[in-house]
A = this chain, B = another copy of it.
Amino acid sequence: MITAHRGSTLNTLGWQQEGALRMLQNNLDPEVAEHPEDLVVYGGTGKAARDWPSYHAIVRSLTTLKGDETLLVQSGKPVGVMQTHEWAPRVLLANSNLVGDWANWDEFRRLEQLGLTMYGQMTAGSWIYIGTQGILQGTYETFSAVAAKRFGGTLAGTITLTAGLGGMGGAQPLAVTMNDGVAICIDVDQSRITRRIDHGYLDVEAKNLGHAVELAVAARDAKKPLSIGVLANAAAAIPELLAMGAPIDIVTDQTSAHDPLAYLPLGIDFDDWENARRDPGFAQRSRESMAIHVEGMVGFQQQGAEVFDYGNNLRTEALAAGYANAFAFPGFVPAYIRPLFAEGKGPFRWAALSGEASDIHKTDKAILKLFPENESLARWIKLAGERVHFQGLPARICWLGYGERDKAGLLFNEMVSSGELAAPLAIGRDHLDSGSVASPYRETEAMKDGSDAIADWPLLNALVNTSSGATWVSIHHGGGVGIGRSIHAGQVTVADGTDLAAQKLERVLTNDPGMGVIRHVDAGYDEAIAVADNLGVRIPMTEGDNAQL
């Protein structure tokens, strides 16, 4: 069993290396990871290291790595240590990347079987997953946006229906209740339901679908927030709820549909899943069930419910299985998140390498003081402080934009430097961010200029973070939407309280969201052009004489 080193004593030659080591270990903490014994962190098969020998070799390399050396990790296996310089990242990672014509699940699995690659998901292979809280804030933001768009700013008096209570999806019930709504959450895995209740993310478990609707209606009518788990297969339950006329206002889904082997088809028992997935016809059966599942969601939409895809590629698989109307409902990004991305806003997060909850409580207070005018941020930080259960190293997430992240990073670095915090912080983000991803079914779905599939942006993002002083930088393929469907980059920068870290943080936390601004300026979003104008983001095509976009 792995847990991260804690406290202020180094196990490596410096805090930059120590940050990487502790965050890798933390990704595999049983409180954080879904299947730590298999190195699986979240998202079905997202791993922190390729295999145990690779894990141990990474730890060994980080332990002796000098402050001007860089460790190279290829799909979870350490493949080199090279002499670089102190401004360079200490670790560079490339996970799951394949050449376009070979970017499909069959080739990926063939290579995985040969021991040549692993699935890195977004923050699993890049060592900045922080448990369900990581996605909680994004999910909270999304449901807030749904509330603002359709229900007068609150989910009070509404019922949300969703499935999937895994690493990401487990955030849904709490995000709904934080917005004062009622949620019915379906999963085929009893252990997931139990776990979410244990962690305070889910309130109760219903005996069956009828019971779930009964509880939901009662809470809705009382305008009381409540989240209800129910054991069922979504592909059966959603059509059933539709048929019984359940009064659902909002429908979405976070089963692991991005990987057909991680979605349980109709007609297979949960206990037989492990064996059945070896059958070559399994993936096709999954897709056919997804088609039924999506058809049910579209049924609710036709009755007036707010329905959206939550980034798991469910619609594409349903379409592949022959359900032509699968794209009737939009993805959550164009529907709710794009305007935030255009301003460089996205999931900023940090973890206390000390292991002390008090370090996070202090940063919570500092953030509130730093951005006193930001009400939704204040609401989130307060609710999170009360309701978020830390997993592994204490951590916090909040969405900050261009011009905000650098301020927060510098303040945190000062708090380390002054001794206010017990040890340095690791400051990073999800790969789902404003300028770090190309993913035509999710983050870059329906871009204004049609540039959804252009993958230059995440690569430039990785290169510019590498050029700005990030502590580790990663480029991943696949992630939440699956092989062939996305390229994305991540960065984590350790605030160790030094002047050098301050300079690095200032650059990384400006340039990283800056990529989001310039990406959306280039695509023609007015929100982005305004931010660039107001905050001085340089756009070469508009500089000089006769400038043009």
Contacts and interface: CB of A to CB of B under 8 A. Distances in A.
A541 interface: yes
Contact of A87 (B80, B87, B117): B87
Contacts of A456: 74-75, 94-97, 117
A477 B458 CA distance: 14
Interface in A44-87: 53-54, 57-58, 60-61, 70-72, 74-75, 77-85, 87
A468 interface: yes
Contacts of A507: 82-85
Interface string A483-498: 1111100000000000
A53 B487 CA distance: 28
Interface stretch (A253-261, A269-277, A447-455): A447-455
Nearest to A316: B101
Interface stretch (A147-155, A347-355, A532-540): A532-540
Contacts of A486: 99
A453 B116 CA distance: 11
Most buried by B among A78, A453, A486: A453
Interface in A463-507: 463-464, 466-469, 473, 475, 477, 483-487, 503, 507
Interface in A255-288: none
Given A57-B544, A464-B84, A540-B60, A97 B450 contact: no
B544 A88 contact: no
A58 B543 CA distance: 11
Given A84-B511, A511-B83, A487 B97 contact: yes
Chain copies in the assembly? 2
A382 B86 CA distance: 41
Nearest to A515: B80
B467 A70 contact: yes
A540 B54 CA distance: 9
Contacts of A134: none
A114 interface: yes
A418 interface: no
B455 A88 contact: no
B102 A440 contact: yes
A99 B464 contact: no
Interface in A168-196: none
B510 A540 contact: no
A92 interface: yes
A449 B84 contact: no
A132 to B, nearest CB: 28
A185 to B, nearest CB: 30
Contact of A487 (B80, B99, B466): B99
A198 interface: no
Most buried by B among A78, A102, A473, A503: A102
Contacts of A537: 80
A548 interface: yes
A541 B54 contact: yes
A463 B460 contact: no
13 contacts: A53-B548, A54-B541, A57-B540, A57-B544, A57-B547, A61-B540, A71-B540, A77-B522, A84-B467, A85-B467, A99-B440, A100-B104, A102-B453
- Give 4 closest A-B pairs by Cβ, nearest first: A100-B103, A102-B453, A94-B456, A88-B467
